[in-house]
Amino acid sequence: AGAAEGCFPRLWWPRWRHIACGKLQLGRGLAWLYFELFHSLLRRDPPRRLEWAEAEAACASADELEQERSKAGAHTLQFLLFLYVQQVNKVSLRTSLIGEEWPSPRTKSPSLTGKSTSENKNWNDQDHHAFVQSHLSDMLELLLEPEQLTASSHATHSSLVSYEAVCALSFLIEGTVNKSMMVHPLHELALWQPCHGQNGYSKVSKAFSFPKLESWLRSCLMTNPFGMTACLKSGKKLAWAQQVEGTTRRAKIACNTCVVPEVFPMVIMSQVYKQTLAKSSDTLVGAHVRIHRCNESFIYLLSPLRSVTIEKCRNSTFILGPVQASVHVHSCDNVKVIVVCHRLCLSSTAGCTFYILTPTQPLILSGNQAVSFAPFHTHYPMLEDHMAQVGLATLPNYWDSPMLVCKESSDTSVFRLLPPSDFYTFVIPFEMEGDTTETPGGLPHMYQKALSQREQKVQIWQKTVKEAGLTKDQRKQFQMLVENKFYEWLVQTGNRQQLDSLVPPAVGSKQAAG
């Protein structure tokens, strides 16, 4: 019956929409968000992502878009697990009332500044490990076929876990054999002959014994050796930043010690202060990047990236290469982010501006104030090549259609579209090889018009000066006046620091390659 209804083994969008909107009382936008978020986590090849973008951009109406989306399906068991692990950030009322940490005080991971933290479970490897250990039994029961469950929907000692269910678990769990550098999905490891005695695999039933499989998984589970904790504790330090004199802050930048096929690398940068940091590097290609506590800086990461988190940064500008998954900005004040990305998520930000090109609606989570959105407005020579590498196109582009997913979801005053009068293009001041010479997809008419009018004013001004018939001394005096006014403007706007920080450091303190 499930197959006939479009629910199993694949769950199709119309069926999920019916369940989510009809049974779970979710709005249609939120239902699609869950479905699309799940898809963005899968390793779809860039050409397929571009095909999907092209098909969606060609839809002329909401009905056509819905028809196109109805072709989208998800692996049912994997999608169930995806929904289940959303609980990782749920706060336990009991433990918060009695003051216990969850899952336990021992599972705190070191923060980027070296202090322990339990704030953000999305990045805490120990929390992920503790969550899976404490919920493993529930997750396995969720994947069991109905006849393997008791009337109260629990497993018994004789329950069997199908091979398909273990394949679904590969969505969350992968591993190595004897600490080798080859990473395999869980289902491949589970079928490895020497493990059959421990995980209860039967070649006859082509299934696993529930208690044995659970016990085997528990005994082998460990925190991610390529995650943030490992990167902080034993990662390779990168000398990309200058240590600014007169400050106690030490810039810390690190990446995974070893790069392993099939595992996205990780780069962490913390406490970059009062400087310009610019990189286009193999170390960054396909990396998860975490930027933390940077202040009064300009950071250019001009490589194709997997994901980016910008956290607790202030008064800084981030210019990023195309991001295949998501850019999450959290607890930031007065930052500018310029990026082409699959998805943008914001939480607890104040006075931030986002110049973006994105095929999904930007997500405004809770705690944001004075958010500004503007069209993506820059380019560098390799930009379109990098976009193709991560499967991002110029259409569809939802930069101006954010979705409020928070308790303030009716309060649209938390964001605005940047007025064209405040809009200026951004020039990336570095020479690189490549073919891109203009902003991909161009600019919306209103913004282009504002730029053209401003350009016209400059031309009129130049013509007026030319026709004024000034003497040589008057021209010199006039030039000094204009330069002084320009210098004042540079200081007042903070652009003086930006220009100064572009001057290459002295030979002794050069930023390292890498």
Task: Identify the pLDDT of residue 63.
Answer: 96
Total tally of structural domains belonging to the chain: 3
**Which helix (DSSP H) or strand (DSSP E) does residue 253 occupy?**
strand 252-255
Q: Are residues 363 and 311 in the same domain?
A: yes
Q: Are residues 348 and 458 in the same domain?
A: no
> Which residue ranges of the chain lie beneath pLDDT 50?
1-2, 96, 98-110, 112-118, 507-512
Q: Are residues 307 and 399 in the same domain?
A: yes
CA distances from 250 to 15, 58, 244 (A): 53, 50, 8
Q: Are residues 435 and 451 in the same domain?
A: no
Q: Are residues 75 and 86 in the same domain?
A: yes
Residue after which a domain boundary falls, among 92, 108, 130:
92
Residue after which a domain boundary falls, among 392, 415, 443:
443
CATH number, domain with residue 395: 2.160.20.70
290, amino acid identity: R
How does DSSP assign 313-368, residue by residue?
Answer: -BS-EEEE--EEEEEEEES-BS-EEEEEEEEEEEES-BS-EEEEE-SSPPEE-TT-
Q: Are residues 471 and 436 in the same domain?
A: no
Q: Are residues 252 and 295 in the same domain?
A: yes
Q: Are residues 369 and 460 in the same domain?
A: no
Task: Identify the pLDDT of residue 458.
Answer: 86
Q: Are residues 407 and 459 in the same domain?
A: no
465 lies in some domain: yes
Contact by Cβ (8 Å): 253, 240: yes
Rounded Cα gap, residues 328 and 290, in angstroms:
10
112 lies in some domain: no
Task: Identify the pLDDT of residue 233.
Answer: 86
Q: Are residues 436 and 454 in the same domain?
A: no
Domain span holding position 3: 1-92
Could you give the dihedral angle defined by the CA atoms of residues 483, 484, 488 and 491, in that order, rounded to the nearest 10 degrees? 60
Claim: this prediction has a pTM higher than 0.75: yes
Whole-angstrom Cα Rg for the chain:
26
Q: Are residues 454 and 402 in the same domain?
A: no
Task: Identify the pLDDT of residue 107.
Answer: 42
